Amino acid sequence: MIPYPLLKEEVARHPYPLLFATISGAHLYGFPSPDSDFDQRGAHILPASEVLGLLPLRETISVEGMRGDLELDLVTHDARKFFEMLLKRNGYVLEQLYSPLVVHAMPELEELREIAKACVTRHHSHHYFGFAATQWGLFEKETPPRIKPLLYVFRVLLTGIHLMRTGRVEASLVALNEEYRLPYCAELIARKTTGREKSTLQSPELDFYRLEYLRVVRHLEDEAADSKLPEEPDCRKALSDLLVRIRSASGL
Protein backbone atom coordinates (compact mmCIF):
# COMPACT_ATOMS: atom_id res chain seq x y z
CA MET A 1 0.00 0.00 0.00
CA ILE A 2 1.30 3.44 -0.93
CA PRO A 3 1.41 5.87 2.04
CA TYR A 4 0.06 8.89 0.17
CA PRO A 5 -0.42 11.09 3.29
CA LEU A 6 3.24 10.65 4.21
CA LEU A 7 4.37 11.33 0.64
CA LYS A 8 2.20 14.45 0.50
CA GLU A 9 3.85 15.69 3.70
CA GLU A 10 7.23 15.32 2.04
CA VAL A 11 6.02 17.23 -1.02
CA ALA A 12 4.62 20.00 1.20
CA ARG A 13 8.11 20.61 2.61
CA HIS A 14 9.51 21.40 -0.84
CA PRO A 15 10.91 24.97 -1.01
CA TYR A 16 9.22 25.76 -4.35
CA PRO A 17 5.77 25.23 -5.88
CA LEU A 18 5.56 21.84 -7.59
CA LEU A 19 4.04 21.47 -11.02
CA PHE A 20 3.67 17.79 -10.18
CA ALA A 21 5.11 14.96 -8.14
CA THR A 22 4.52 11.32 -9.05
CA ILE A 23 5.73 7.95 -7.85
CA SER A 24 8.36 6.23 -9.95
CA GLY A 25 10.60 3.21 -9.41
CA ALA A 26 9.49 -0.27 -8.43
CA HIS A 27 6.05 0.84 -7.24
CA LEU A 28 5.30 2.30 -10.68
CA TYR A 29 6.83 -0.69 -12.46
CA GLY A 30 4.63 -3.13 -10.55
CA PHE A 31 7.24 -5.11 -8.63
CA PRO A 32 8.04 -3.45 -5.29
CA SER A 33 9.59 -5.63 -2.61
CA PRO A 34 8.29 -5.32 0.95
CA ASP A 35 11.40 -3.24 1.73
CA SER A 36 11.43 -1.11 -1.46
CA ASP A 37 11.83 2.63 -0.97
CA PHE A 38 9.39 5.18 -2.38
CA ASP A 39 10.77 7.20 -5.31
CA GLN A 40 9.03 10.48 -6.07
CA ARG A 41 9.89 12.51 -9.15
CA GLY A 42 8.57 15.80 -10.46
CA ALA A 43 9.06 19.38 -11.55
CA HIS A 44 9.27 22.52 -9.43
CA ILE A 45 8.85 26.14 -10.50
CA LEU A 46 11.58 28.61 -9.68
CA PRO A 47 10.26 32.17 -9.25
CA ALA A 48 11.07 34.67 -11.97
CA SER A 49 13.12 36.72 -9.49
CA GLU A 50 15.58 33.84 -9.09
CA VAL A 51 15.68 32.98 -12.78
CA LEU A 52 16.45 36.61 -13.69
CA GLY A 53 19.01 37.14 -10.94
CA LEU A 54 22.70 36.29 -10.66
CA LEU A 55 22.59 33.67 -7.92
CA PRO A 56 23.04 29.98 -8.83
CA LEU A 57 19.77 28.34 -9.81
CA ARG A 58 18.45 25.36 -7.89
CA GLU A 59 17.62 23.49 -11.07
CA THR A 60 17.60 20.09 -9.37
CA ILE A 61 16.59 19.41 -5.79
CA SER A 62 17.09 15.97 -4.25
CA VAL A 63 15.93 14.94 -0.79
CA GLU A 64 16.20 11.46 0.65
CA GLY A 65 15.91 9.97 4.09
CA MET A 66 13.93 7.83 6.48
CA ARG A 67 10.44 8.77 7.62
CA GLY A 68 9.73 6.32 10.38
CA ASP A 69 10.55 2.92 8.90
CA LEU A 70 10.04 4.08 5.29
CA GLU A 71 12.82 5.25 2.97
CA LEU A 72 11.70 8.19 0.81
CA ASP A 73 13.38 9.86 -2.14
CA LEU A 74 12.13 13.06 -3.81
CA VAL A 75 13.92 14.47 -6.86
CA THR A 76 12.57 17.43 -8.83
CA HIS A 77 13.88 19.59 -11.67
CA ASP A 78 12.96 23.17 -12.44
CA ALA A 79 10.25 23.27 -15.10
CA ARG A 80 12.61 24.66 -17.74
CA LYS A 81 15.10 21.85 -17.22
CA PHE A 82 12.32 19.28 -17.16
CA PHE A 83 10.86 20.64 -20.41
CA GLU A 84 14.29 20.58 -22.03
CA MET A 85 14.63 16.94 -21.02
CA LEU A 86 11.26 16.23 -22.65
CA LEU A 87 12.68 17.54 -25.93
CA LYS A 88 15.43 14.91 -25.81
CA ARG A 89 15.31 11.11 -26.10
CA ASN A 90 14.62 10.76 -22.42
CA GLY A 91 12.27 7.99 -21.45
CA TYR A 92 12.71 8.65 -17.72
CA VAL A 93 10.92 11.99 -17.78
CA LEU A 94 8.12 10.64 -19.96
CA GLU A 95 7.51 7.86 -17.43
CA GLN A 96 7.56 10.34 -14.55
CA LEU A 97 5.17 12.67 -16.34
CA TYR A 98 2.66 9.95 -17.25
CA SER A 99 2.88 7.99 -14.00
CA PRO A 100 -0.68 7.29 -12.81
CA LEU A 101 0.56 7.38 -9.20
CA VAL A 102 0.12 11.12 -8.65
CA VAL A 103 1.05 12.58 -5.27
CA HIS A 104 0.62 16.25 -6.22
CA ALA A 105 -0.46 18.07 -9.38
CA MET A 106 -1.25 21.59 -10.50
CA PRO A 107 -4.06 21.88 -13.06
CA GLU A 108 -1.40 22.47 -15.74
CA LEU A 109 -0.22 18.86 -15.44
CA GLU A 110 -2.95 17.65 -17.79
CA GLU A 111 -2.03 20.35 -20.30
CA LEU A 112 1.62 19.30 -20.09
CA ARG A 113 0.71 15.66 -20.62
CA GLU A 114 -1.23 16.60 -23.74
CA ILE A 115 1.64 18.70 -25.09
CA ALA A 116 4.21 15.99 -24.35
CA LYS A 117 2.51 13.55 -26.72
CA ALA A 118 4.19 15.52 -29.51
CA CYS A 119 7.57 15.10 -27.82
CA VAL A 120 7.67 11.35 -28.44
CA THR A 121 9.81 10.22 -31.39
CA ARG A 122 11.01 6.92 -32.78
CA HIS A 123 14.47 7.79 -31.43
CA HIS A 124 13.24 7.27 -27.87
CA SER A 125 13.98 3.63 -28.63
CA HIS A 126 17.67 4.43 -28.05
CA HIS A 127 16.92 5.27 -24.42
CA TYR A 128 15.37 1.86 -23.88
CA PHE A 129 18.12 -0.02 -25.71
CA GLY A 130 20.72 1.71 -23.55
CA PHE A 131 18.91 1.26 -20.26
CA ALA A 132 18.25 -2.43 -20.95
CA ALA A 133 21.91 -3.03 -21.85
CA THR A 134 23.03 -1.35 -18.61
CA GLN A 135 20.65 -3.42 -16.50
CA TRP A 136 21.64 -6.62 -18.30
CA GLY A 137 25.28 -5.85 -17.52
CA LEU A 138 24.41 -5.44 -13.84
CA PHE A 139 22.46 -8.67 -13.90
CA GLU A 140 25.25 -10.71 -15.50
CA LYS A 141 28.12 -9.50 -13.36
CA GLU A 142 26.58 -10.37 -10.00
CA THR A 143 26.95 -13.75 -8.31
CA PRO A 144 24.34 -14.91 -7.63
CA PRO A 145 22.35 -12.77 -10.09
CA ARG A 146 19.54 -10.65 -8.63
CA ILE A 147 15.97 -10.66 -9.87
CA LYS A 148 15.63 -6.86 -9.71
CA PRO A 149 17.90 -5.90 -12.66
CA LEU A 150 16.41 -8.74 -14.73
CA LEU A 151 12.92 -7.35 -14.18
CA TYR A 152 14.22 -3.91 -15.13
CA VAL A 153 15.62 -5.38 -18.36
CA PHE A 154 12.27 -6.75 -19.49
CA ARG A 155 10.32 -3.78 -18.14
CA VAL A 156 12.29 -1.23 -20.15
CA LEU A 157 12.29 -3.34 -23.31
CA LEU A 158 8.52 -3.82 -23.18
CA THR A 159 8.00 -0.12 -22.37
CA GLY A 160 10.09 0.74 -25.44
CA ILE A 161 8.20 -1.74 -27.63
CA HIS A 162 4.86 -0.35 -26.49
CA LEU A 163 6.01 3.24 -27.03
CA MET A 164 7.23 2.50 -30.56
CA ARG A 165 4.01 0.70 -31.41
CA THR A 166 1.45 3.04 -29.84
CA GLY A 167 3.17 6.32 -28.94
CA ARG A 168 1.91 5.84 -25.36
CA VAL A 169 3.96 5.45 -22.20
CA GLU A 170 3.30 2.38 -20.06
CA ALA A 171 5.85 1.68 -17.33
CA SER A 172 4.07 -1.07 -15.40
CA LEU A 173 5.50 -4.49 -16.21
CA VAL A 174 2.29 -6.06 -14.89
CA ALA A 175 0.19 -4.12 -17.41
CA LEU A 176 2.69 -4.62 -20.22
CA ASN A 177 2.84 -8.36 -19.67
CA GLU A 178 -0.92 -8.61 -20.05
CA GLU A 179 -0.41 -7.56 -23.67
CA TYR A 180 3.03 -8.91 -24.59
CA ARG A 181 2.88 -12.07 -22.46
CA LEU A 182 6.39 -13.08 -21.50
CA PRO A 183 5.47 -16.33 -19.71
CA TYR A 184 8.15 -16.04 -17.01
CA CYS A 185 7.44 -12.45 -15.93
CA ALA A 186 4.59 -13.23 -13.56
CA GLU A 187 6.75 -15.70 -11.63
CA LEU A 188 9.69 -13.29 -11.49
CA ILE A 189 7.41 -10.50 -10.24
CA ALA A 190 5.95 -12.79 -7.59
CA ARG A 191 9.44 -13.79 -6.41
CA LYS A 192 10.48 -10.12 -6.20
CA THR A 193 7.35 -8.78 -4.52
CA THR A 194 7.17 -11.50 -1.88
CA GLY A 195 10.88 -11.51 -1.13
CA ARG A 196 13.47 -8.90 -0.36
CA GLU A 197 14.96 -6.20 -2.59
CA LYS A 198 18.04 -8.36 -3.23
CA SER A 199 16.26 -11.61 -4.13
CA THR A 200 18.42 -13.77 -6.39
CA LEU A 201 18.18 -16.39 -9.14
CA GLN A 202 19.88 -19.73 -9.56
CA SER A 203 22.86 -19.69 -11.96
CA PRO A 204 21.42 -22.33 -14.37
CA GLU A 205 18.66 -19.86 -15.26
CA LEU A 206 21.18 -17.47 -16.83
CA ASP A 207 21.37 -19.15 -20.24
CA PHE A 208 17.60 -19.08 -20.68
CA TYR A 209 17.30 -15.42 -19.78
CA ARG A 210 20.24 -14.46 -21.98
CA LEU A 211 18.41 -15.88 -25.01
CA GLU A 212 15.20 -14.14 -23.96
CA TYR A 213 17.00 -10.82 -23.53
CA LEU A 214 18.40 -11.03 -27.07
CA ARG A 215 15.01 -12.05 -28.46
CA VAL A 216 13.15 -9.14 -26.85
CA VAL A 217 15.89 -6.70 -27.95
CA ARG A 218 15.28 -7.84 -31.53
CA HIS A 219 11.57 -7.25 -30.99
CA LEU A 220 12.27 -3.67 -29.94
CA GLU A 221 14.57 -3.23 -32.97
CA ASP A 222 11.76 -4.38 -35.28
CA GLU A 223 9.20 -2.11 -33.63
CA ALA A 224 11.55 0.91 -33.85
CA ALA A 225 12.21 0.21 -37.53
CA ASP A 226 8.47 -0.02 -38.29
CA SER A 227 7.35 2.79 -35.98
CA LYS A 228 5.21 5.59 -37.39
CA LEU A 229 6.43 8.02 -34.72
CA PRO A 230 8.06 11.23 -36.00
CA GLU A 231 11.79 11.78 -36.27
CA GLU A 232 11.78 15.00 -34.24
CA PRO A 233 9.61 16.42 -31.44
CA ASP A 234 6.99 19.00 -32.36
CA CYS A 235 6.23 20.58 -29.01
CA ARG A 236 8.88 23.25 -28.33
CA LYS A 237 6.58 26.25 -28.90
CA ALA A 238 3.79 24.81 -26.76
CA LEU A 239 6.25 23.95 -23.97
CA SER A 240 7.73 27.43 -24.13
CA ASP A 241 4.31 29.07 -23.87
CA LEU A 242 3.39 26.90 -20.90
CA LEU A 243 6.70 27.65 -19.17
CA VAL A 244 6.19 31.41 -19.52
CA ARG A 245 2.68 31.15 -18.06
CA ILE A 246 3.57 29.04 -15.05
CA ARG A 247 6.74 31.07 -14.36
CA SER A 248 4.80 34.33 -14.52
CA ALA A 249 2.15 32.96 -12.20
CA SER A 250 4.79 32.07 -9.60
CA GLY A 251 5.36 35.78 -8.90
CA LEU A 252 8.53 37.86 -8.54
Domain interval for residue 106: 4-120+233-249
pLDDT digits (tens, 9 = 90+) for 113-172: 999 999 999 999 999 999 999 999 999 998 888 899 999 999 999 999 999 999 999 999
Check residue 14 and give its pLDDT: 96
The verdict on 141 and 205 lying in the same domain is yes
250 pLDDT band, cuts 50/70/90, is confident
Say what the pLDDT of residue 234 is.
Answer: 96
How large a percentage of the chain has pLDDT more than 90?
Answer: 82
Beta strands in the chain (DSSP E): 18-24, 38-44, 60-67, 70-78, 102-105
Same-domain status, 64 and 80? yes
Are 72 and 146 part of one and the same domain?
A: no
Per-residue pLDDT tens for 169-199? 999 999 999 999 999 999 999 988 887 666 7
User: How high is the mean pLDDT of the chain?
Assistant: 94
Say whether 77 sits in a helix, a strand or coil: strand
Note whether 110 and 177 are same-domain residues. Answer: no
**Angle at Cα 80 formed by Cα 43 and Cα 56, nearest 5°?**
95
pTM for the predicted model, two decimal places:
0.94
The structural domain count of the chain equals: 2
pLDDT at residue number 83: 98
| Ranges 46-60, 82-96, 188-202: which has the least confidence | 188-202
In the predicted model, what is the mean pLDDT of residues 72-82? 97
Whether residues 186 and 196 share a domain: the answer is: yes
What does the pLDDT read at residue 224?
A: 98
Look up the CATH number of the domain holding residue 243.
3.30.460.10
Cis amide prior to 144 (ω within 30 degrees): yes
**Eight-state DSSP code of residue 55:** S
| 112 and 10 within one domain | yes
